[in-house]
Amino acid sequence: MASSFYQVVFVVSLCAPIVCGSPPSAPSKGSPHPSSTESTPASQVSSSNTNFAFRLYRRLVLKAPGQNIFFSPMSVSTSLAVLSLGARSATKSQILRSMGFNLTGTPESAVQQGFRHLVHALSVPGRDLRLRMGSVLFIRKELPLQTAFLSDVKRLYESEVFPTDFSNSSAARRRINSYVEKETQGKVADLIQELEPQTAMVLVNYVFFKAKWEKPFNPQYTSRRYPFSVGKTTVKVPMMHQEEQFAFGVDPDLNCSVLQMDYRGDTTAFFVLPSKGRLRQLEQALSSRTLKKWSHSLQKRWIEVFLPKFSMSTSYDLETVLPKMGIRDAFDKNADFSGITKRDFLQVSKVTHKAVLDVSEEGTEAAAATATKLTIRSNDGSPHSVCFNRSFLLLIVDRATETVLFLGKVENPSKV
C-alpha cells in the first residue's frame, strides 16, 4: 500500500589523533521542558532552527546546483546541539552562533532547554502520525568521558550511549549501520561506508516519519506519463490529481504560489511553486518570517491540484559545508571538546546527512505566524488550478511546535 515516508540520518564522527587536555567549563543545565512552544526557550529554538534551515538550504543549493535537495534541518540542528554540550570556548560559541543563537541574549541553558522540549514533543506517539526521532552515541570503550557530558546527553536528549570497539572498524561499522537500519525500519541501509582507525565517537541522529494525507489522492486519477520541465527539456512522471479545498495563496512579493496540504495528525506540507525564472529570488528570500506569513495568510478554497508522485534519496558530507557557515574550529587542531573527555584531543572528522523521501497518493505536512494576506488570482466561481510541473519547494512542518522537520527542492522527480 502506498505511503509517505521521510527518513533522515545525521552522523558526526570524532577522531582522537593525539593526546592533550584542558579544563572544561561548567556544563549547562536544562530545566524541565516547558508546557508549550509559547515559552521563550522553545519558541526561540524553533525560530532559530527555521532560519538555520534556510541558510543551510542555500549552501546545499550552491554545492549541488540543479539537483534535488532534501534534508531534515531539525536532525542537523539537534545533532549540533548535542555536540555543543561537549564543546568549549570558541568551538562551542561557533556551533551555537552558526545555529542562530546569540549567547549574550540567550544563555546556553535556555537553548538546550528549548531543544529538550522540541525533542520530547516530537517524540510523543500519535494515532495518525508516526514520527520517531532520536540520538545515539557510539563511543570508544577506553575513552574516559566527562560525567557531566554523559549525564546531559541522556537527560536532555534521551540519548542511548553504546561503548564500541573501534579497533575492529568493520564490526563497529556493521553495528552502527544495523542500528540505523532498524530504527528507520529498513529505509536507511549502509549509512556508514568506512570508519577511520582513530574514531573515538560516532553521534547518530535519526528521524523516521510516516503519515497519510488528510485528503488523499485517488490513484485512478494519477496520470502515468505527465511532462515535467527540467531545464530546457522535459521528463515523464506520474502526476497525481485531485480537486479539493486546500489553504492556498499567491505571494506577490516573492512571485510564487503556496499550497498547504495537511496530514492526519499535527503536521502539514507546504508546496511552493515559483513563477518561471523566479526560483533564485524565492530561495534568497526564505526566512522564518516568510514561513509565518504563509502559514497565517493562506485562505481555504477549492483548488485543482496536480502533484508528482516521486521518491528520492540524498546524501551530504556536511564537513565541507558547516565551516562556511561559521563552524570552523570543530574540524581542525583548534577544536576544543574537553567537555567530552579531558584526556584526549578530539576533532570532528566527518558529518554525514542522509535522507529518503517518498510522496504518494496517500501522504505529507505544515506551520507559523503574521497577518499579511496573500492574494488568489482567479475568479471565485471556479477552482484555481495549480500544477507542479516544474521546480518547486517542499516544507514539512510540525504545527504544534512550529518546527521545520524537512525541507527540499524537487528539480527532477524522475531522479531517485
pLDDT digits (tens, 9 = 90+) for 91-135: 999 999 999 998 887 889 999 999 999 888 887 766 566 777 788
**Contact between residue 52 and residue 79 where contact means Cβ atoms under 8 Å apart:** no
Lowest-pLDDT range, 141-145, 167-171, 380-384?
A: 380-384
Lowest-pLDDT range, 8-17, 187-196, 303-312, 356-365?
A: 8-17
pLDDT of residue 46: 87
**Contact between residue 97 and residue 80 where contact means Cβ atoms under 8 Å apart:** no
CATH 2.30.39.10 domain extents, the chain: 219-308+365-410
Say if residue 313's pLDDT is above 70. yes
CATH annotation of 4-211+312-358: 3.30.497.10
Stronger pLDDT, 172 or 373, i.e. the higher one:
172
Q: Which superfamily does 219-308+365-410 belong to?
A: Alpha-1-antitrypsin, domain 1 (2.30.39.10)
Q: Is 218 exposed, middle or buried (0-12, 13-18, 19+ CB in 10 A)?
A: exposed
Helix ranges, 106-218 (H): 108-123, 147-157, 169-183
pLDDT of residue 19: 23
pLDDT of residue 258: 96
pLDDT of residue 354: 81
pLDDT band at 222 (very low <50, low <70, confident <90, very high): very high
**Contact between residue 376 and residue 36 where contact means Cβ atoms under 8 Å apart:** no
Reported pTM: 0.85
> Across all residues in the chain, what is the average pLDDT?
81
In a 3-state reduction of DSSP, which class is residue 386?
strand
Q: How do residues 238-257 score in pLDDT, each as one tens digit?
A: 999 999 999 999 999 999 99
pLDDT of residue 342: 78
Euclidean distance between CA atoms 127 and 188, whole angstroms: 24
pLDDT band at 17 (very low <50, low <70, confident <90, very high): very low
CATH 3.30.497.10 domain extents, the chain: 4-211+312-358
